Amino acid sequence: MFTVLVIVCVALSVSGGIYAVGTLFAEEKTAVENRLSALTRHVSPLAMKKGENAVTSVTSNLNDAPNRLEKIVSRFVNVRQMLEQADIQIPTSRLLSYCGVCAGTGATIYLLFSPLKTMAPVIAGCFFFLPILFVWFKRRRRLKKFAAQLPEALDLIGQALRAGQSLAAGFQLVAQQTAAPLGPEFGRCFEEQNLGVPLEKAIMNMTTRVPNLDLRFFATSVVLQRQTGGDLAEILDKIAHLIRERFQIFGQIQALTGEGRLSGVVLLALPPALFVAMLFLNFNYIMMLFNEPLGRKMLAFAIFMQLLGAACIKKIITIKV
């Protein structure tokens, strides 16, 4: 049975690796495709210097339909939306192939070096979500950078409005003067309204791509101002001031809760680390938790208390600003 499991895991790893390498070294675009891509993309001058671009809705792959595996994974995580919000320009099928390679590799290594073979499916499941976890971290970092750039962008739009320019021209100015990720997003919004999409709809589409609360405040203020009138430049100045004040308060909260967050990490990581250490130091001793009925009850109770402790610590150190 052990040999069969190893063979299956190795086969999955090799096949997934061949597919991933094949997608990485895919055939280059032709000259016509490159010209069409240039015509359907908006690239700001600052982003062009850094080799970055903003993908428009015209450039999305119409053949990238969700397959069965993506539908199953999407029940837990919206992979397609995460890739868009993280600005990772790869198909979801390629990301899922990376997940399969990680799962097969992790299960193979575990089966070869661990005496507890029954945990191989759990290890494979954990390794399967490693690429998705990487995308999640990159998405989180991109959203944080977007939030930090937003006050300066609002000030820039307010100055453009005071100079007599339109709101769409202010969006174009932000796209040209601001680095990624905020500049390309505003450039995509400006491009959509150039293609016939109403500006309010283009702004709401941007709030869908970038789930930021301050951006929703901005979108709501723009929609209300265009319906009822008012001084939009003054409203943008107040929103920018509010965002800066929130960042200042959030920094103070992070400094005050740093000790609690570090204590929570240590307390939550200590039991699993000791379990892994005892698994290799004294295997028969740790197997009593799985073989004995009382041991299984104790293990289930320990896992429940770990989750309860994590929820309590999270509740204590999380302060909404």
Let me know whether 17 and 133 are in one domain.
yes
List, in sequence order, every residue forming a beta bridge with 88; answer none if it has no partner. none
Name the nearest CA neighbour of 158 among 101, 240, 275.
Answer: 240
Q: Which of 119, 140, 161 is the last residue of a domain?
A: 140
Let me know whether 28 and 43 are in one domain.
yes
pLDDT at res. 23? 46
Q: Which domain holds residue 209?
A: 143-252
How far apart (Å, rounded) are the C-alpha atoms in residues 189 and 174? 11
Q: How many CA atoms lie within 13 A of 175 on its CB side?
A: 20
Let me know whether 178 and 248 are in one domain.
yes
Let me know whether 136 and 8 are in one domain.
yes
Let me know whether 158 and 274 are in one domain.
no
- The per-residue pLDDT for range 68-109, each reduced to its tens digit, is 767 777 777 788 888 988 989 888 888 888 988 999 998 888
- The per-residue pLDDT for range 263-273, each reduced to its tens digit, is 888 988 999 89
Those residues with Cβ within 8 angstroms of residue 175's Cβ, 6 or more apart along the chain or in another chain: 42, 44, 54, 183, 184, 186, 187, 190
pLDDT at res. 162? 93
Count of residues in the chain? 321
Let me know whether 7 and 135 are in one domain.
yes
Helix axes 182-194, 199-209, angle to 10 degrees: 150
Let me know whether 200 and 292 are in one domain.
no
CATH number of domain containing 226: 1.20.81.30
Name the nearest CA neighbour of 86 among 192, 234, 200, 209.
Answer: 209
Q: Which of 200, 228, 252 is the last residue of a domain?
A: 252
> What is the average pLDDT score of the chain?
80
Name the nearest CA neighbour of 161 among 173, 152, 151, 150.
Answer: 173
55: pLDDT strictly greater than 80:
no
Q: Which of 107, 140, 173 is the last residue of a domain?
A: 140
**pTM for the whole structure:** 0.71
Let me know whether 93 and 147 are in one domain.
no
Let me know whether 39 and 18 are in one domain.
yes
pLDDT category of residue 7 using cuts at 50, 70 and 90 = low
Let me know whether 134 and 24 are in one domain.
yes
42: pLDDT strictly greater than 60:
no
- The per-residue pLDDT for range 100-143, each reduced to its tens digit, is 899 999 888 888 877 677 778 888 888 988 999 999 999 999 99
Number of domains in the chain: 3
Let me know whether 15 and 115 are in one domain.
yes
Virtual CA dihedral for 294, 286, 7, 131, nearest 10 degrees?
A: 90
